[in-house]
Structure 1
């Protein structure tokens, strides 16, 4: 026996798609579109949230002018650019040959190897903070212990620091420490991307190249890299966007304060501090939109750089 709804409760097929999309659209408007538009509206106002919405007043472009004249904002942008380049470029330089090696050398255990490299990407940020705070400890950290061990090696000893490095308090060492964490977390993600792209390359290309006498290195530069071009563009674009929005790693490692001499203060951390430490939500919103323009411009430049001639 089947139950039938009365005609008055039946949904017309004409409106069924809208009814099915309504929950997603409602959540998107409330948690996605509204905060975005409110942030843009807030960028032109001065507001302290503790005073309520009634305390919000129009200041025009003053927040943007303040951001462009703020030395800390420009320092945070320079820090962000340094961290993005120092952590992003090595990711791809390591991930591409590593993915190629896993693709060629691992057959049965490939998934297990890839899972091991991907594990840092899904690791909890709190666990990462505990792990690397111990590794970068000045007196008992394993990294300083490894450096002390390498000092005993005849050729490498001259290249190693002659004293324990204060990674978390020395401004010159803090940015490399953050970059190492970012590299460790995201290189596995890029390996997965490139490995997926490698599996789409037809084996016939390599067989034909082998018959023509091309070696592994020639095949890598003339077949593998050109075939990976779309995925490299995708991966580099994600690195550009993620690098400019870097927040978790510098925030956790510096306790949210930017570290000594603000050397670890990224743009996203400075936005957070403006909003929640200084209660200046208008300036924080203006800075976030300036950062958005920088991200959009660099994404466009990345697209231009990877565009083939004639496209």
Structure 2
């Protein structure tokens, strides 16, 4: 009797919860083969034309190969030669000079143009198309135009300087003239592209901020410097990163304008143009691969620097600052 009451008064055993995968039939990989087959072309193409060339270039950077004969493993000899190669460091210096004198004015002009296009003006769509048009123009046509404008003997630039009573400049034979000409090509081509990016960022800023500033008596410069620039800092850093990568990999402009030699005294020889000459003109694919990976390291260093700037300025403290904060609270 007591045992029976004990059994009847006992709480019923809880029902076993079903696992997430038990309430539906298991599907084997064979049932999903159409999905895998649909995405397979991308991975096959990436493996053949992306991953394999990258890994093969790493291997080639430790070898000596002319593209036809036997591949000879030389260890770090290519990198040791690269460190002591004055032509490589001349290409690095040219690349950084062109990048500085082109990126800084280009981004500033693009930001000003985006700010003006964001105002209530007529024919804004026509201006946007006009500013973006140089980015889709053929580089060969651009080189022909700029070669004619900045020609040493009959260029329009020297004609304008002469009309203003100034001396002519050797744009395509002087080292600094070559760098300035290439920088102007970069500015002309990419200013509209960055202006469109800035304009997209401006459209995300609430218009109430501009209206309140104008009610308080702020002029256009105060609105631009105290509202637009601070709120566009993430977009500005994005364009700085992309412009840095594009500036370090500059190739088309100097190659089409000046040829493979890079102009007089190799004043227009950039890192990628020098790598192209070594690999596809001198057929030294081992040294060309070493130059390519040196460029990758340089670009990675600048990307990390820009990323840290983005993290610190957007209110995301670094490990060092978090450690100092925790130590002070303790």
> Under a length normalisation based on structure 2, what TM-score does the superposition of the two structures give?
0.83
Aligned to 2:130: 116
- 1:252-291 matches, cutoff 5 A: 252-291=256-295
- 1:196-235 matches, cutoff 5 A: 196-235=200-239
Whether 1:137 and 2:151 are equivalent positions in the alignment is yes
Aligned to 1:195: 199
Aligned to 2:297: 293
How far did 1:222 drift? 2.2
Aligned to 1:92: 107
Deviates more, 1:135-144 or 1:237-246: 135-144
Tell me, yes or no, if the aligned pair for 1:118 and 1:189 is still in contact at 8 Å: yes
**Deviation string, structure 1 residues 260-302 (Cα, Å, up to 9, x no partner):** 1110000100000101221111011011101100000011112
User: Structure 1 stretches of 5 or more lacking a match?
Assistant: 1-10, 152-159
- 1:123-162 matches, cutoff 5 A: 123-151=137-165, 160=166, 162=167
Aligned to 1:5: none
**Deviation string, structure 1 residues 60-109 (Cα, Å, up to 9, x no partner):** 111111111100000000000001001111111111111101111435x2
Q: Which has the larger radius of gyration?
A: 2
User: Structure 2 stretches of 5 or more lacking a match?
Assistant: 1-28, 318-330
How far did 1:176 drift? 0.8
How far did 1:27 drift? 1.0
Of 29, 32, 54, the residue aligned with 1:36 is 54
Whether 1:78 and 2:114 are equivalent positions in the alignment is no
Deviates more, 1:206-215 or 1:25-34: 206-215
SS of equivalent to 1:147: helix
SS of equivalent to 2:256: helix
Give RMSD over aligned pairs: 1.6
Deviates more, 1:204-213 or 1:286-295: 204-213
Whole-angstrom distance in 2 between the partners of 1:175 and 1:218: 34
SS of equivalent to 2:199: helix
Tell me, yes or no, if the aligned pair for 1:63 and 1:286 is still in contact at 8 Å: yes
Of 76, 83, 103, the residue aligned with 2:118 is 103
- 1:55-66 matches, cutoff 5 A: 55-66=70-81
Tell me, yes or no, if the aligned pair for 1:40 and 1:285 is still in contact at 8 Å: yes
Gap change, CA 1:223 and 1:148, over 3 Å in 2: same
How far did 1:12 drift? 5.5
Tell me, yes or no, if the aligned pair for 2:144 and 2:257 is still in contact at 8 Å: no
Tell me, yes or no, if the aligned pair for 1:168 and 1:253 is still in contact at 8 Å: no
> How many pairs were matched up?
287
